[in-house]
Structure 1
């Protein structure tokens, strides 16, 4: 899993959390491309590595291939003695299971949890691909020419019609994509949100046309979000290569280098349709101009105030609280900021823009600091606690709740101490 996946892992999970907070029923699905020529190429690469042979021309490179091949051979020494065709399948399947397990573990550690891990193979094994074609045929948008089966996506604005079954009888990837969409709709999902990388702009038109061919309303039942490229700078230089993967920077390396909180917050803080450059030194620095530190520090400061109140024996009963005492300008500004939180979440869900939550948290943290600088929350020395102290303490507690809830929507911890 590389840096592009990492952006979508953070943003997609934050979007799911925001949608749920706004009242939607959400299922998070990870679609695994676990069939076809790339899987065979992966198996052949592992087999070659285990046998000490050169990597196939279309194979997978990187130290992780050699490591994985050795792990598989150590677990099953007889595997390298199998006939070549059986050996390739054995390496392919063992490698697939290892990689899928690793992906799940890395995503869980990144606080991105999927409800469903959906296998492309299952579409073919269950007959869902054939069923998807039947659905399209009933809608009248499938035709045959030159021995191949096509979907007439040009009926709905696509730049060309799309092949579903090649003339040699093989299904295309688009046939799987179509069957998967039909499958999701038949499982009761009103809206299917696709998160695709920057090199998939061409998929938007064909996916929307596919939904229309299936009898749906593309603007209502399907949405495609495109994430732009991410660059990571370290010591002023762009990180391009992984020591382990060889050709890309992996999610695990980024987590080890940056940390889950800083990485998730930084990836969700910006609109996904904009290219993003993250400087490791900047986003891991514990300073007030580092947004994630600034918001987390505000939560820790709020927690400290509430702990001190407890030590002073200062309790607050909301039922007897006199909110009219909060008449200071800074108190009113903070109250209005807290009242905006539900609207911000609703708008972030509506526009599919979880970065709105991050920006709101930063503004609210700033508003709180200004309030605290001018409005004494706790009594000083031998001073007796007043109803104003209690009202301000309640405002402090409310602010902590909002910051904690907002950070949780982004999958970022809200520390009690820093």
Structure 2
């Protein structure tokens, strides 16, 4: 799975945040369904934008105006200070030597910040894959040679093209421009082949709303190198997210200037509320979230509702422990026939649906199915909890009976399912609220 794959030239922002949640959740759901999943962040660390990045840091350090096509925002000033602190005297170098040194150190520090941001946001990557490494290893020339052998490239107007229209693309794609510069598509093709060479049978791409045109070209690219895209490729396109506060859309950042950063969102909304709210809708649905709605502590807020149900099971188990109730052996001491009330049956059926929901969410790449299932199950559990005939704890001087222990099993099962489901969304399962 490849997702986010932001340029290492600035902080992660709102657009990245939705993919940080959905990509991570899809990976978790696939793994829960039995897949061997590797999550990769493709680092766009090659190209002219890296020079613009370095030049922007240098200008900030020297108190000069931002260069044309450069990067702005307080984070550039912060980076300039951090680069100087990490490499004293670096800005006293001259010309290309200074640019190369600042580019390398600025890249290192900005990438490290992105990695820290994502880990604190409960989004884990197994591989951070450098685009530059494809060129340094010779993978790109090897890819071009393979395409020539397969007969899917041609030269025209001084450029080298891939004949992707043979496989349904709306136009052929340039691999090498007339000035000899390699295109991003050449790197994309080499990266796909690298993943296939590492043994991955299926490659999932999560792309932003402005990447609809990539679906056809990526599928055609896979076909050009001899693969069946229906079997090896899955391209998902996500829609935009708007965050409202007091009826106004959040657009500006204190640190980045023109974007709302992931860190700022997580600090204002909270990791759990933000992750759950982004995970409970399909990726292809445009989304508007209100800060007040997704952070309020009431049953109208889905994340609070589900987490509170989990906390309630924990409180019930603590109370049972205080009364000396011990979970019976499920093979010898548990009689499911004692769970005879209608509400018992409803809760049992809800819990039994969990494996099917996970399998479906994995197959369809739709983690929102987990969130909606948790909300439904929490509702069933709360109705069960409110039913006097389904009390788990004995009343007054009543001794602990087999029916009480049977319902203790039901509560522990509910606790387990809700905690597991929240974990698939990267959301915590608090024991007290």
| TM bracket (short chain) | over 0.9
Partner SS, residue 320 of structure 1: coil
Equivalent positions of 1:234-245 (< 5 A) are 234-245=245-256
Equivalent positions of 1:315-354 (< 5 A) are 315-317=326-328, 318=330, 319-354=332-367
Q: Which residue of 1 aligns with 2:410?
A: 395
TM-score under structure 1 length normalisation: 0.99
Aligned counterpart in structure 2 of residue 22 of structure 1, from 5, 24, 33: 33
In the aligned structure 1, how far is the partner of 2:172 from the partner of 2:34? Answer: 38
In the aligned structure 1, how far is the partner of 2:147 from the partner of 2:313? Answer: 57
Q: Which residue of 2 aligns with 1:405?
A: 420
Q: Which residue of 1 aligns with 2:401?
A: 386
1:247 Cα deviation from its structure 2 partner: 1.0
**Size of the alignment, in residue pairs?**
418
Aligned counterpart in structure 2 of residue 109 of structure 1, from 110, 120, 123: 120
In the aligned structure 2, how far is the partner of 1:312 from the partner of 1:359? Answer: 34
TM-score under structure 2 length normalisation: 0.95
In the aligned structure 2, how far is the partner of 1:116 from the partner of 1:132? Answer: 21
Q: Which residue of 2 aligns with 1:11?
A: 22
Aligned counterpart in structure 2 of residue 155 of structure 1, from 166, 186, 196: 166
In the aligned structure 2, how far is the partner of 1:125 from the partner of 1:359? Answer: 46
1:75 Cα deviation from its structure 2 partner: 3.1
1:289 Cα deviation from its structure 2 partner: 0.6
Q: Which residue of 2 aligns with 1:137?
A: 148
Q: Which residue of 1 aligns with 2:84?
A: 73
Deviations 1:361-396 (A, max 9, x none): 000000000011111111011111111111111111
Q: CA RMSD in A?
A: 0.9
Deviations 1:159-200 (A, max 9, x none): 110000112211101100000001001111011000111111
Gaps of 5+ in 2: 1-11
Residue 374 of structure 2 is aligned to residue 361 of structure 1: yes
1:325 Cα deviation from its structure 2 partner: 1.1
Q: Which residue of 1 aligns with 2:236?
A: 225
Aligned counterpart in structure 1 of residue 227 of structure 2, from 216, 222, 229: 216
Whether the aligned pair in 2 keeps the contact of 1:132 and 1:183 (CA below 8 Å) is: no
Residue 290 of structure 2 is aligned to residue 275 of structure 1: no
In the aligned structure 2, how far is the partner of 1:81 from the partner of 1:289? Answer: 58
In the aligned structure 1, how far is the partner of 2:283 from the partner of 2:86? Answer: 42
In the aligned structure 2, how far is the partner of 1:22 from the partner of 1:135? Answer: 35
In the aligned structure 2, how far is the partner of 1:140 from the partner of 1:295? Answer: 56
1:77 Cα deviation from its structure 2 partner: 3.5
Runs of 4+ in structure 1 over 6 Å off: none
Aligned counterpart in structure 2 of residue 33 of structure 1, from 38, 41, 44: 44
Whether the aligned pair in 2 keeps the contact of 1:40 and 1:88 (CA below 8 Å) is: yes
Residue 49 of structure 2 is aligned to residue 49 of structure 1: no
In the aligned structure 1, how far is the partner of 2:237 from the partner of 2:16? Answer: 12
Whether the aligned pair in 2 keeps the contact of 1:19 and 1:349 (CA below 8 Å) is: yes
In the aligned structure 1, how far is the partner of 2:365 from the partner of 2:400? Answer: 45
Which moved further from structure 2: 116-125 or 231-240? 231-240
In the aligned structure 2, how far is the partner of 1:114 from the partner of 1:249? Answer: 22
1:306 Cα deviation from its structure 2 partner: 0.5
Q: Which residue of 2 aligns with 1:416?
A: 431
Q: Which residue of 1 aligns with 2:3?
A: none
Which moved further from structure 2: 356-365 or 164-173? 164-173
Gaps of 5+ in 1: none
Q: Which residue of 2 aligns with 1:307?
A: 318
In the aligned structure 1, how far is the partner of 2:229 from the partner of 2:423? Answer: 31
